[in-house]
Every structure is written in C-alpha cells, then in structure tokens.
Amino acid sequence: MRSFVFVALAVAWRGVHNAFTNPAILLPSLLFPLFFFTAFAGGLSRVSDVPGFDYPAGYTAFQFVFVFLQSAAFGGVFTGFAIARDFESGFARRLLLAAPRRTGIVAGYALVALVRWAATASVVTVVALLAGMDVLGDPAELAALVVLGLLVNVAAVLWAAGVAMRFRTLQAGPLMQVPVFLTLFLAPVYVPLALLDGWIHAIATVNPATFLLEAGRGLVAGEPVEVAAAFAVAFAAVALFTVWALRGLKSAESAG
C-alpha cells in the first residue's frame, strides 16, 4: 500500500507541477468552461422566460451546474491527453520501470485531474458568483454538488486513462473526448428535461448525465431531486471505469 501511495504522489506531483508552470497545459481546461458559461448563461439567458421554465435559482445557476460538471468531465479527459502524450513520447516507460506498484500511476494521474479541476471549478464558481448567480442550497447541499463533481472528474479521467493506455497515442484523443461530449450534450443542457421534446427528450430521459445535472441543479436550488440516483450513477461510473483503466494498464504493460 505504501508503494502505491508514493508512486501516486510522485506522478501527481509531476502532473500538477507541469500544469501550473505551463499555461498552455492549464488554460484549455480553464477557458472551455468559461466560454461555455459565458455563451450559455449570457447568450441564452432569455430561455428562463420560456413558459414552463420553473428553476427557482435562475438561468445563471441553471447553466453553472452544467458548466461545473462539464468542466469536471473535460478536466478528466484533458488529463487523459497527457497520459497518451506520455506513452507516445516514451516517458510512461520511465514510470512503468520505476514504479513498484503500477496501479499507483493511474491513481497519480487521477490526482492530477482532481487538482486541475479544483482550480477550474474555483474559477468558474467565482465567475458565476460575480455574474450574479443565486445560490439557494445550504452548505451541505453545495458540498454534495462538489462531491458529485469530484466523482464525475474521477470517472472521466479513468475513462480517458483506459483509452490512452490502450492506444498509447494522442491520436486517440477524439475517442476520449467525443463520447463524453455526446453524453453531456444529450442531457438537458439548455432547458429542463420537461421542456425537451421528441428524440432528444427520449435520449435525455435515459442518459445517466441527466441524473447528474438534475441532482446538481436541485442542490444549488435548495430543492434536492434525484440525488441518490445521481450518486449511484457517479459511483457506478467510477467503479466501471476503474476496471476499464486497470485493464488499460494491463494492455500497456503487455505491449511494452
């Protein structure tokens, strides 16, 4: 166990150090959510006037929750890019050669994703509050939202790590990103689920991301809904993608 921890901390130190000393690494994961937030919460604010839009905390908070969870998911995917880059450049071999417990490498990358997302989420939250976001949830509900974000982040980085270690090239980037993008955007992003119609409503109803969004929005509004389902989805995703990532590690070990 001790070797697992020191390997994870060493890998995490390097990833965090690189991210915070090289703006080119950190900025994309920071700018994308801010762009989405500005475009959606600002440009689409009249959506809240649509009959049937009954979210009590207002449209800024409605979009904040999406951007908050989207940044968690994409933060994980961006870390997956870094893993693929390490395999492509051969640096991952250094880690595989030195690490007594190689599962610690995966944990280290997950820690990198968490730290990077913590920075992104902080900036997004401050910007949303400055933009006048109403927060009606109590501290416990907001803490639950943060935990939900952490789980989404971990699930996403484990998914991306599994892809990165199977393909070991940056060319696998779209394979990490597109499924996450589709899952997120086939959820009720712009309006509540009840206002969606046709095929998008049918897909959004069964999309696991919908549970996360609905629960997150309920927590910010102080009217929790679907929280248990959302946490079940998040924990299931973490469990599923842990197995996926560890099998990816095995695949990378077999390939040398």
Partner 1 sequence: MQDEHGIQAEGLAREFKGGIRAVDGIDLQVAPGEIYGFLGPNGAGKSTTVHMLTTLLPPTAGTARVAGFDVVREGAQVRAAIGAALQEAALDPLLTGREHLRLQTALHGMGKAERKRRGEALLERVGLTQAADRKVQTYSGGMKRRLDLALALVHEPSILFLDEPTTGLDPQSRNALWTEVARLARDEGVTVFLTTQYLEEADVLADRVGIIDHGRLVAEGTPAALKAEIGRPSVEAIPADPSERDAVARTLERFGRPVPGSPKGVAVRLDGGEEALADVVRALDAEGLHLAHLQLHAPTLDDVFLAKTGRSLEGAGDELDTEAEPEPVPA
| Contact footprint for partner 1 (CB under 8 A) | 2-3, 6-7, 9-11, 13-14, 17-18, 21-22, 89-101, 253-256
Closest-CA residue to 65 (of 139, 133, 163, 3): 133
| Cβ neighbours for 226, distance < 8 A, ≥ 6 positions apart | 211, 214, 215, 218
At 134, list the tokens: 């109403």
- Output 16 or 152, the one with its CB closest to partner 1: 16
Minimum Å gap between C-beta 236 and partner 1 is: 31
Minimum Å gap between C-beta 3 and partner 1 is: 6
- The C-alpha atoms of residue 12 and residue 18 are separated, in whole angstroms, by 10
Q: ∠ CA(57), CA(58), CA(64), 5° rounding? A: 85
Minimum Å gap between C-beta 160 and partner 1 is: 19
- Output 101 or 208, the one with its CB closest to partner 1: 101
Minimum Å gap between C-beta 119 and partner 1 is: 18
At 142, list the tokens: 């907001």
Minimum Å gap between C-beta 158 and partner 1 is: 21
- Output 18 or 171, the one with its CB closest to partner 1: 18
At 45, list the tokens: 């604010």
Amino acid type, 157 = V
Amino acid type, 6 = F
- Output 199 or 254, the one with its CB closest to partner 1: 254
- Output 84 or 234, the one with its CB closest to partner 1: 84
Read off the DSSP letter of residue 193: G
Q: Are the C-beta atoms of residues 195 and 113 closer than 8 Å to each other? A: no
At 69, list the tokens: 């969870």
| Cβ neighbours for 165, distance < 8 A, ≥ 6 positions apart | 83, 87, 245, 248, 249, 251, 252
- The C-alpha atoms of residue 229 and residue 227 are separated, in whole angstroms, by 5
Minimum Å gap between C-beta 122 and partner 1 is: 23
Minimum Å gap between C-beta 240 and partner 1 is: 26
- The C-alpha atoms of residue 188 and residue 186 are separated, in whole angstroms, by 7
- Output 92 or 144, the one with its CB closest to partner 1: 92
Q: CA-CA distances (angstroms) from residue 145 to 35, 68, 81, 148?
A: 21, 9, 26, 5
- Output 59 or 87, the one with its CB closest to partner 1: 87
